[in-house]
Structure 1
Amino acid sequence: MLNGLKRYLYLSHRWLGIVLCLFMAMWFVSGVVMMYVGYPKLTPQEKLSALPGLAAERCRVSLAQALAAGGQVKSPDSIRLTSVAGAPRYVFIYGKTPIAVDAETGNRIDQVTPAQALASADSFLATADGYYLDRIDEDAWTHSKALDEHRPLHRVQMADEQATLLYISNTTGEVVRDANRHERTWNWLGAWIHWLYPFRGGALDRYAADIVIYTALAGSVLSLLGLIVGILRWRFQGLYKHGTKTPYREAWMRWHHLLGLGFGVIAFTWILSGLFSMNPWKIFDSTAAKPKLQAYMGGDISPQYFPLSVAEALARFQNTGFQPREIEWRVLNGQGYYIAFDSQGHSRIQTAQTDSRVFETFDWSALQTAAERLMAPNKIARQSVLNEYDFYYYSRATHTMTGHIDKRLPILRLEFADADSTWLHLDPYTGNFSKLDAGRRVSRWLFAFLHSWDWLHLLNNRPVWDVLLIVFSTGGLLISASGIVIGWRRAKRKLAIHY
């Protein structure tokens, strides 16, 4: 019976390998590319640096007028003032739906024309001319769900040195993605194949997530079976008749066995953690009710909290030497604030009262009061101010998956005694918060740590991180390549016998 079980193990590993080794090899190669070139995206810093300074004299439409022009009865979840084609524009977010209103004329933007899209692109990248390509729902560089509310997207090709491709929202007219030639070229070997994006946008689009999940699951099983088979076939005591501890005399089989023993654990954890990145079957989802933003703010974002007009607020920011490129409306503890961002991503806060003042950060006590209201009736079990990064709050390079998220310091961490052991991270520069419950902390171990090795001691000591990941990726690639050769030979023999 034991011999029969071993045989099934060997056969399962063999035939899974024939099917999956090409995928495995592709993942190891593309993973190395992603270490240095990420999937195209427009980071907040890139966007802010391309926008002109907001001109107070051009902001002629009040918040109340703009909301009325937007045509929605309920209050928006967020309000932002930005620039499109050099002109100020309100952007209201209702759930996931953006609505844009011209801050100069009060006209709602219902649809963006090709001419308007081209004007937006030319203003965004003013150092180069552009020409309009087309309007598309989705292409190789716009698979991100974050772009769904902006579809269809206008594409404008810029004639700059990097041959940048700009994507313009059909809803707001903003540039929402840029993809230069360097990113596009390397991504054919990087994120585009690593995330199996060839299955997106076509007949298999609805099954794309399941294809990734079940391919990664099969790859995890393959790697685990390989480890078990490798250990079973290794002669821990004594030698085989031909004088080695591996039973294989043929070179490819012998190297596959040795490489599997040397790098198999790494290969298994990488494929398994890739599976966890998809949050398969919602295993990391919280069962708690989603926090209500209104509870945190202490009121809706409505004109009553903003007696100081945006034009006056802009002028007062500028009088302090701060030049806003974008402004956000914020309500915290029932009081209105303007949050302004300059071209470098620096921020300032201004109270929205007639006797306004400009300052840099909210008080910790104000943030804590808002957080307690958000999490009521749950109580704070522990609180701390982080002045340096730790395992659960840290920054990554901008090209990585989460690198565009600004992780400033210091921040306030509040740990609550609720059923999900929720942590809140509160940013004093903007009043924003992020939620990290027990499931997400487990996901951080099982995906981010095991998959990206984003351990601070390694990230802060590059190129040690680079060397380790490249060596281990090479080991995984060699396991896969030797498996491809072995599988191809066996498949040819089987086909020859069959025919």
Structure 2
Amino acid sequence: MSRFKNIILQIHNLSGTFLSLMFVIWFLSGFVLIFAGFPHASKEERFMHLSFLTKSDFDSIQAPSEDFSGKIELEKMNGNPVYRVYSGRKSQKVYSAISLIRCENTTEKEAVNLAEDFTGAKLKSVEKIEELDQWIPWSYYRALLPIYKCYLNDEDRTRIYISEKTGSIIQETTIKTRWAARLGAIPHWIYFKSLRLQKGLWVKVVAWISFFGILVSISGLIAGFIRLKKRKKSSKWTECSPYKKFWYKWHHITGFLFGFFVFTFILSGFFSVVDIPKSLVPVHAKVSAVKVWNQKTDVKQHAATSLSHLWNAVEGKKPIRKVVWKTVMNQACFWVYRDHYQLPDVYVAGTDGAFAKSNYSKKEISSWCKSVFADTGYDVKELNEFDAYYQKSGMWKRPLPVWQLTLHDADHTSMYIHPKTGEVIKSYNSNDRSRRWLYRSLHTLDFPFLKQHEWLRKLLLLFLSLGGTAVSISGLVLGLKWIKRKTKKSLPVRTKLVKMKFND
């Protein structure tokens, strides 16, 4: 037993010494992340800055080409109607909606005008970058290069990034959001540009650091129990630790009190970049249920409706900012966005024009389910409040009520379907649920009750993070002391020369 204790203590001493600084960085940056994440250009603001589409636009434009493949959006760019055809996460091609000819690259003058209009500030300087920088450190943004980086002359020191290829704003940062990211998201997620752009390497680095962090926390929990001492009834509660020296004692006590939280935090951080092994929680479906339900746009189905008929159908009191061509449940649809960037008016294409679509009914959901998931049992119910899996989101408006479709398949698939658009908003299988609890719940206290009381969730996060910081800082001090001792022992012993007097 004594040998086992020594092994555990040695493992904790060694691994903790080398990772204690990373633990301190994680917890300190975590305080910032509770309130501010990585900067991004607001989708809502970008949408609200789109120019309105008018009748003259609809009179002059052509229907999308049948060669267009992917998501098709009609909006205005530089005062002219254009089609944006998306073929990947960020990859897109822009065509003139009048001639269907590929649009030329955005000029520097056009980019400057867009940046000034978006921010309401005058330009200070502009540069064209050929490589991604610290504020767009995602490899899939390479498809948008080159990019105009516009420096605005305002109090916030705003910087706007505009793709030369697409003419769209892809990032916005201010001095406040940049510093928040430097102190929070970047060190916490190890979001350093040179590393983050190599996604495979970045995932491996985060996963391995987290793995060794799990080793540190588990060995620390065991060591804490091993070193726990029975105390007398009359003694102080701090006497449960056998250590007398300040840093040893408080590292033991704080580790004993907050060690389990440190472990769950590191474990959930590991699962933020690593999927749950399918050998543990199998996924039987070869194609995800979302891909089966949400169809790719078939622009040929929309040919029966002329653009003049579409205008007659969509013209209303509120002006139009964007129109999206969609295929939903084998029906050609137009999603018309007016004053809300996530909530369109839906119109179904027909030979006699387009007509407004009411919310999708339970009967329609069931009918499409039988069509695409033949021979699979299911349940459909209307969900009127958020549950453990369908929750509020900071970035996306989640509607209520919503249709919850549960399949009786091997993966126990559950989908939440937008009643307005008929498309899946969120989907879970058994593997997804496991990752949801192991990552989001443990890492951010994303539990249903706490999500309904955001102030309490953040308060608990702050309290537990304070405990984790105390454990980490005391561990860092002990680690530095350990290195200092080892360094001294490894230095060669200096011999003193002693002068000796001899009597003749």
Same fold flag (TM > 0.5): yes
Partner of 2:363: 365
Alignment of 1:148-227 (within 5 A): 148-198=142-192, 200-201=194-195, 206-227=200-221
- 8 Å CA contact retained: 1:56, 1:315: no
TM-superposed CA distance for 1:216, in Å, is 0.8
Alignment of 1:92-103 (within 5 A): 92-96=85-89, 97-103=91-97
Find the aligned partners of 1:130 and 1:389 in 2 and give their Cα distance. Answer: 46
Structure 1 pair 298/477, CA: closer, same or farther in 2 (3 Å)? closer
Question: Within the alignment, does 1:88 sit opposite 2:86 as a pair?
Answer: no
Letter of the 2:252 counterpart: H
Letter of the 2:480 counterpart: W
Partner of 2:264: 269
Find the aligned partners of 1:165 and 1:37 in 2 and give their Cα distance. Answer: 18
Question: Within the alignment, does 1:79 sit opposite 2:72 as a pair?
Answer: yes
- 8 Å CA contact retained: 1:227, 1:261: yes
Find the aligned partners of 1:311 and 1:285 in 2 and give their Cα distance. Answer: 51
Alignment of 1:33-44 (within 5 A): 33-44=32-43
Structure 1 residues without counterparts, runs of 5 or longer: 397-402
Alignment of 1:464-479 (within 5 A): 464-479=456-471
Find the aligned partners of 1:255 and 1:296 in 2 and give their Cα distance. Answer: 55
Alignment of 1:127-138 (within 5 A): 128-129=122-123, 131-138=125-132
RMSD: 2.9
Of 389, 392, 412, 2:389 maps to 392
State the secondary structure of the residue aligned to 2:210: helix
Structure 1 pair 286/48, CA: closer, same or farther in 2 (3 Å)? farther
Partner of 1:329: 325
Letter of the 1:331 counterpart: T
State the secondary structure of the residue aligned to 1:323: coil
- 8 Å CA contact retained: 2:121, 2:152: no
Of 445, 457, 475, 1:453 maps to 445
- 8 Å CA contact retained: 1:293, 1:374: no
Partner of 1:55: 54
State the secondary structure of the residue aligned to 2:35: coil
Structure 1 pair 413/203, CA: closer, same or farther in 2 (3 Å)? closer
TM-superposed CA distance for 1:139, in Å, is 1.5
Partner of 1:491: 483
Partner of 2:403: 412
- 8 Å CA contact retained: 2:299, 2:325: no
Structure 2 residues without counterparts, runs of 5 or longer: 492-504
Which has the higher mean CA deviation after the structures are superposed, 214-223 or 87-96? 87-96
Find the aligned partners of 1:20 and 1:450 in 2 and give their Cα distance. Answer: 21
Letter of the 1:273 counterpart: S
Structure 1 pair 178/207, CA: closer, same or farther in 2 (3 Å)? same
- 8 Å CA contact retained: 2:405, 2:414: yes
Structure 1 pair 372/83, CA: closer, same or farther in 2 (3 Å)? farther
Q: Report Cα offsets for 1:283-309 as digits up to 9, x if no partner.
A: 578452224878546785214324334
Which has the higher mean CA deviation after the structures are superposed, 102-111 or 290-299? 290-299
Letter of the 1:62 counterpart: Q
Find the aligned partners of 1:44 and 1:204 in 2 and give their Cα distance. Answer: 26
Structure 1 pair 47/362, CA: closer, same or farther in 2 (3 Å)? farther
Which has the higher mean CA deviation after the structures are superposed, 153-162 or 423-432? 153-162
Structure 1 pair 328/368, CA: closer, same or farther in 2 (3 Å)? farther
Alignment of 1:286-435 (within 5 A): 286-291=283-288, 296=293, 300-310=297-307, 312-314=309-311, 316-319=313-316, 321-345=317-341, 346-353=343-350, 354-359=352-357, 361-380=359-378, 382-396=379-393, 403-433=394-424, 434-435=426-427
Letter of the 1:302 counterpart: V
TM-superposed CA distance for 1:483, in Å, is 0.6
Structure 1 pair 123/367, CA: closer, same or farther in 2 (3 Å)? farther
Find the aligned partners of 1:128 and 1:77 in 2 and give their Cα distance. Answer: 36
- 8 Å CA contact retained: 1:101, 1:109: yes
- 8 Å CA contact retained: 1:260, 1:479: yes
TM-superposed CA distance for 1:127, in Å, is 5.2
Give me the TM-score of the superposition, normalised by structure 2. Answer: 0.87
Find the aligned partners of 1:456 and 1:375 in 2 and give their Cα distance. Answer: 30
Q: Report Cα offsets for 1:52-94 as digits up to 9, x if no partner.
A: 2223322433224xx26xxx4xx62321123323432211123
Find the aligned partners of 1:407 and 1:253 in 2 and give their Cα distance. Answer: 49
Question: Within the alignment, does 1:251 sit opposite 2:246 as a pair?
Answer: yes
State the secondary structure of the residue aligned to 2:364: helix
TM-superposed CA distance for 1:490, in Å, is 1.1
Structure 1 pair 170/416, CA: closer, same or farther in 2 (3 Å)? farther
- 8 Å CA contact retained: 2:293, 2:423: no
Letter of the 1:305 counterpart: H
TM-superposed CA distance for 1:207, in Å, is 1.7
Partner of 2:255: 260
Alignment of 1:25-36 (within 5 A): 25-36=24-35
Structure 1 pair 256/314, CA: closer, same or farther in 2 (3 Å)? farther
Number of corresponding residues: 483
Find the aligned partners of 1:163 and 1:180 in 2 and give their Cα distance. Answer: 6
Letter of the 1:61 counterpart: I
Find the aligned partners of 2:256 and 2:289 in 1 and give their Cα distance. Answer: 50
Partner of 1:399: none
- 8 Å CA contact retained: 2:385, 2:401: yes
Partner of 1:400: none
Structure 1 pair 489/235, CA: closer, same or farther in 2 (3 Å)? same
Give me the TM-score of the superposition, normalised by structure 1. Answer: 0.88
TM-superposed CA distance for 1:359, in Å, is 4.4
- 8 Å CA contact retained: 2:405, 2:416: yes
State the secondary structure of the residue aligned to 2:398: coil
